[in-house]
Amino acid sequence: MSQTQPLGLNPLRSADDRRLLRIAGPGALVIFGVTGDLAQRKLLPAVYDLANRGLLPPGFSLVGFGRREWSHEQFAEFVAQSVRRSARTPFRESVWQQLSAGLRFVSGAFDDPAAYATLSEVLSELESSRGTRGNAAFYLSIPPRHFSDVCDRLAREGLADHDENTWRRVVIEKPFGHDLESAQRLNAVVEQVFARDDIFRIDHYLGKETVQNILAFRFANSVFEPLWNANYVDHVQITMAEDIGIGGRAGYYDGIGAARDVIQNHLLQLLALTAMEEPTSFDPRALRSEKIKVLNAVGLPDDLAANTARGQYLGGWQGGREVVGYLDEEGTAPNSVTETYAAFRVDVHTRRWAGVPFYLRAGKRLGRRVTEIALVFKRIPQLLFTEHQTAALGQNALVIRVQPEEGITIRFGSKVPDTNMEVRDVSMDFGYGHSFTESSPEAYERLILDVLLGEPPLFPQHREVELSWRILDPIERFWAASGQPEGYRPGTWGPASADAMLAREGRTWRRP
Ligand code: BG6
């Protein structure tokens, strides 16, 4: 391994090196939308877990910004509750004491100039009392319609300004726009205030260990890459299935739907990592440029009616519980045409992937929660065995299980003992839980730490976001003109049209 390789993403570096080198320097994190669901369930616990792992400096400070009229103490109580409920690591009083001494709350609306003046005072106070050195990251965990107000106010109050010894960064949660045009507008607004390198767009899938492992799996091993192409791969299926419904998130989800919610970002990033060529290094620019080449090469079939499917969950039973249909969820529009299941085929027009369909699907209220990338291999051209002997032999497959039961499985045929050469599918399994004793950090731990360290490889840049919308926009336009999505029962694997889509090509979806 070269000594000059950047350390940020190097999968070969030992955990000890990483710990020594990856501790955030002085700084503050300001969370807009701190009372929201994401902050409570993920962001605040992740900050605590980082502190607990010794990866935050002693003076690290966390500022909540929201409309509630809270004192700093009330905010601290709120953070404590969310940490106790959702942190990954045990609650330790000494860690909490140190962290809670740096908690502040700023009360105000996103467009209230006075609140930004207060924020500025709070940041100065933290600089002198906690030694944050003027460094701050602004995390916008808020609906995108407020992005421009917040950026504008931050700029006017001088909160985005910094000299060469300090940093000011902005972190944006998805959705990055609604389509290509709105994403471009959004990018322009944010880039007016922050330099490109100071903008961190969160795609939390890239913070998952299993997703980072795609790079290690492909590029640190010699056995798989020779098979990773159109000579051997018949097709690729990328699945993100959830067994939950939309919960209380109708305000966000209705009008957005499954494709915009998770395919435009998470699944297309998984596709890019699966299909890209080997980068020259793990330098963010090198990595990004390979992902961009793939996204640029993605094309849609001409016949969108035959190559897309969408559905909306109906009421019914799931896991022994009666659940309501999407249209009866609180807050969805009557007759909403928002899809809760989306599937479509894309092709990657590169020499490596010519003729290999990539099928993407995502849905809520499906059979079980699973995210996986499956490379399904071609059948061998000539079988020595009889039809009877191979009745239980499927196509070989290599499956990267992103979650749960994180790991990698290879499926292949094996002789059934004590038969006359009957062959049946078996699997060879790598599970993180078996091979490693340490548990994986949550994606948000990794990503928040990267923001504080200013390390960008795991954050999609504006070009990737725009290219993803370029892929999705024609499908969304087609669906917008296609009326109501097909209903499907909870606990099933989605609408019949999704099965028909693959059946037309002589294939079937995996039932993970
Ligand atoms: C989010 C989506 O990005 O990912 C949610 O907005 C979805 O709709 C969530 O439930 C799933 O994340 P994870 O990490 O549990 O797969």
DSSP-derived 3-state class of residue 353: coil
Give kind and range of the element (H or E) at residue 450. Answer: helix 443-453
Q: Are 259 and 475 in contact, with CB atoms under 8 Å apart?
A: yes
What's the confidence (pLDDT) of residue 6?
31
203 CA distance to ligand 1 middle (Å): 10
Q: State the average pLDDT over residues 190-202.
A: 95
Question: Going by CA atoms, what residue is nearest to atom 14 of ligand 1?
Answer: 205
What's the confidence (pLDDT) of residue 1?
34
Pocket test for ligand 1, best of 266, 368, 406 (most atoms within 8 A of CB): 266
Is 266 tagged catalytic? yes
CATH architecture of 28-202: 3-Layer(aba) Sandwich (3.40)
Pocket test for ligand 1, best of 42, 43, 204 (most atoms within 8 A of CB): 204
Integer-rounded Cα radius of gyration of the chain:
24
What's the confidence (pLDDT) of residue 144?
84
User: For residue range 241-271, what is the model confidence (pLDDT) as tens digits?
Assistant: 999 999 989 999 999 999 999 999 999 999 9
Which runs of consecutive H residues, i.e. helices, occur in 268-401? 268-275, 284-297, 304-307
Total Cβ atoms within 10 A of residue 509? 18
Residue 14 has pLDDT above 50, yes or no: no
What's the confidence (pLDDT) of residue 143?
87
Assigned token pair, 403:
């979650």
Determine how β-strand 341-348 pairs with β-strand 298-299. antiparallel
Of 146, 266, 388, 462, which is the active-site residue? Answer: 266
Assigned token pair, 131:
């030694």
Which residues, at least 6 apart from 387, have a Cβ–Cβ distance to it below 8 Å?
none
Q: Where in the chain is the domain with CATH 3.40.50.720?
A: 28-202
User: For residue range 352-409, what is the model confidence (pLDDT) as tens digits?
Assistant: 999 999 999 999 999 999 999 999 999 998 888 988 998 889 999 999 999 998 999 9
- Lowest-confidence segment of 15-19, 152-156, 272-276 by average pLDDT: 15-19
- Between 226 and 143, the more confident residue is 226
What's the confidence (pLDDT) of residue 370?
98
Determine how β-strand 136-140 pairs with β-strand 357-363. unpaired
Angle between helix 284-297 and 462-480 (nearest 10): 20
Residue 10 has pLDDT above 70, yes or no: no
Q: State the average pLDDT over residues 277-294.
A: 94
Give kind and range of the element (H or E) at residue 453. Answer: helix 443-453
Residue 9 has pLDDT above 70, yes or no: no
User: For residue range 457-510, what is the model confidence (pLDDT) as tens digits?
Assistant: 899 999 999 999 999 999 999 999 999 999 999 999 999 999 999 999 999 999
What's the confidence (pLDDT) of residue 438?
81
468 CA distance to ligand 1 middle (Å): 18
Q: Are 307 and 342 in contact, with CB atoms under 8 Å apart?
A: no
Q: Are 217 and 408 in contact, with CB atoms under 8 Å apart?
A: yes
DSSP string, 61-98: EEEEEESS---HHHHHHHHHHHHHHH-SSPP-HHHHHH
User: For residue range 57-116, what is the model confidence (pLDDT) as tens digits?
Assistant: 999 999 999 999 999 999 999 999 999 999 999 999 999 999 999 999 999 999 999 999
- Residue 305 dihedral angles phi and psi, to the nearest 5°: -65, -40
Pocket test for ligand 1, best of 208, 254, 262 (most atoms within 8 A of CB): 262
Superfamily grouping for domain 208-488: Dihydrodipicolinate Reductase; domain 2 (3.30.360.10)
147 CA distance to ligand 1 middle (Å): 21
Q: Name every protein residue with a CB atom under 6 angstroms from any ligand 1 atom.
A: 242, 261-262, 371
What's the confidence (pLDDT) of residue 466?
96
Strand partners, 510: none
120 CA distance to ligand 1 middle (Å): 33
Question: Going by CA atoms, what residue is nearest to atom 8 of ligand 1?
Answer: 261
How does the average pLDDT of the chain come out, rounded?
A: 93
User: For residue range 306-350, what is the model confidence (pLDDT) as tens digits?
Assistant: 999 999 999 999 989 999 999 999 999 999 999 999 999 999 999
What's the confidence (pLDDT) of residue 5?
34
Residue 198 has pLDDT above 70, yes or no: yes
> What percentage of the chain has pLDDT greater than the value 90?
87
What's the confidence (pLDDT) of residue 21?
59
What's the confidence (pLDDT) of residue 4?
33
Q: Where in the chain is the domain with CATH 3.30.360.10?
A: 208-488
Which residues, at least 6 apart from 385, have a Cβ–Cβ distance to it below 8 Å?
393, 421, 423
Residue 437 has pLDDT above 90, yes or no: no
71 CA distance to ligand 1 middle (Å): 31
Determine how β-strand 321-323 pairs with β-strand 486-488. unpaired
